[in-house]
A and B are shown apart, each in its own frame.
Chain A
Amino acid sequence: MSEISKLLELRKLLLDMEDSMGLQDLSTVERDIYYVANDHARSAGTVKTTTLQDHALLANVSRPTFFRALKSLQGKGYLEHCKDSVRGYYTVKTPAK
């Protein structure tokens, strides 16, 4: 695990803490999608919708809930649709608040 990914793990831990304290602006499904997207984007640079859907953490999330959360994450600036790629690919962003 690189220094950057350790920083991401630390950030994930503190996002979990924020969530517990009611300070986070993400729902549970949104947060799980963001975690999984972060992990995949770390190695591949981008993440595909089907990769997210197939992940164990999101296996029990219904399709409508999943796509609602995905859209919400784009709206909040956590994910961005890849412009120079085919449909269904996203890059992970750090939103400006």
Chain B
Amino acid sequence: MQRLATETCIVSLAYLSAFFATFEILMPLQNLFFAKSAHSASLLFLPHGVRVLTAWLLGWRAPLVLLPGVSFVFFYVAGWGALTPSRLAAIAIAVCIPTLCFQLLRLLGHDLRPAPGKPPCWPCIMAVGLMIAIATSLLTNYAFGSPPMDYAAYLIGDIGGLFFLMLILMVIFRRLRSYGL
């Protein structure tokens, strides 16, 4: 129980950090370069990376530990409107689809879960991230009744966000190594 609480705190903090970095830093920059963009979707949606890496590392516990962070973000953006059926569906999609995709692949014989002695495969994680992004974009935009343009924007944002988050983490780990940590 204590372990689940710790994981929930770490993942929620990571999710919120990724969300605020996306909306307070990256989106204003994006708006500078794409000022005439009609939609409000981020083209580098870092929280998708947190969802994918959490599902990869935690498996079935991921939906539970992602739920507080994802719910907070929906309440932050939409207020009590987060309780409308379409947004509740979007929350469920955001927390469940990553784990479901990893489990589906496992059932199909591609078990990507980390295990001692098993070399990691970052292109595989990126490929699953793409699969999760497609499923999430289709289901979320269907729930919202969004125009076709938003489907593509969500997809690009999710994939870009996953890759960019992994790059950021890679740089952070390299920095930590250089400090002997």
Contact = CB atoms under 8 A, between A and B. Distances in A.
A and B part of one assembly:
yes
A95 interface: yes
A60 interface: no
B6 A96 contact: no
Interface string A41-80: 0100000000000011100000000000000000000000
Given A12-B120, A57-B117, A97 B178 contact: yes
Interface residues of A, number: 28
Interface of A: 1, 3, 6, 9-18, 20, 23, 32, 35-36, 39-40, 42, 55-57, 94-97
Given A3-B6, A56-B117, A17 B178 contact: no
A39 B114 contact: no
Contacts of B178: 96-97
B174 A18 contact: yes
Given A23-B170, A94-B177, 5 more contacts: A1-B114, A14-B169, A15-B173, A39-B116, A57-B119
B122 A17 contact: yes
Contact of B57 (A6, A17, A35, A39): A6
Interface in B91-135: 114, 116-117, 119-123, 125
The prevalent SS among residues of A at the interface is helix
Nearest to A11: B173
Contacts of A15: 120, 173
B53 A10 contact: yes
Contacts of A35: 117, 119
Contact of B114 (A9, A17, A23, A32): A9
B78 interface: no
Nearest to A14: B170
A24 B64 CA distance: 35
A20 B122 contact: yes
A5 to B, nearest CB: 8
A23 B122 CA distance: 15
Contacts of B21: none
A20 B117 contact: no
Contacts of A56: 117
9 contacts: A3-B10, A10-B53, A10-B169, A13-B122, A15-B173, A17-B167, A35-B117, A35-B119, A97-B177
